[in-house]
């Protein structure tokens, strides 16, 4: 799980978390789709499709609340 999360965050930062991504519907959809696809292909079989969907929604909400773009997050403010 840790490797999946790390890889997903790197992909999002590199490709999807562009300036003002939260304000553009297409950019938000791309982030949501990337999370869902990553979970679909990377999570082990004990994760049911329903659980993957729930986890995907939770991760999307966290990313939305925590990352303004690839270089600005709530974590950068703490460091």
Residue 20 has pLDDT above 90, yes or no: yes
Handedness of CA 52, 58, 60, 66 (dihedral sign): negative
Q: Mean pLDDT for the chain?
A: 93
Q: State the pLDDT at residue 45.
A: 86
**Tokens representing 28?**
């938000």
Tens digit of pLDDT for each residue in 36-71?
Answer: 999 999 988 899 999 999 999 999 999 999 999 999
Q: Could you tell me the pTM of the whole model? A: 0.90
Q: State the pLDDT at residue 79.
A: 47
CA dist., res. 76 & res. 79, Å (int) = 5
Q: State the pLDDT at residue 1.
A: 82
The candidate with the shortest Cα–Cα distance to 31, out of 1, 64, 75, 54, is 64
Question: Any idea where the domains of the chain sit in the sequence?
Answer: 2-78
């Amino acid at each position: 799980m840790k490797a999946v999360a790390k890889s997903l965050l790197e992909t999002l930062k590199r490709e999807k978390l562009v300036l003002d991504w939260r304000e553009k519907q297409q950019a938000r959809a791309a982030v949501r789709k990337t999370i869902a696809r990553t979970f679909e292909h990377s999570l082990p079989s004990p994760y049911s499709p329903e659980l993957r969907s729930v986890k995907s929604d939770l991760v999307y909400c966290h990313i939305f609340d925590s990352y303004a773009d690839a270089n600005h997050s709530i974590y950068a403010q703490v460091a």
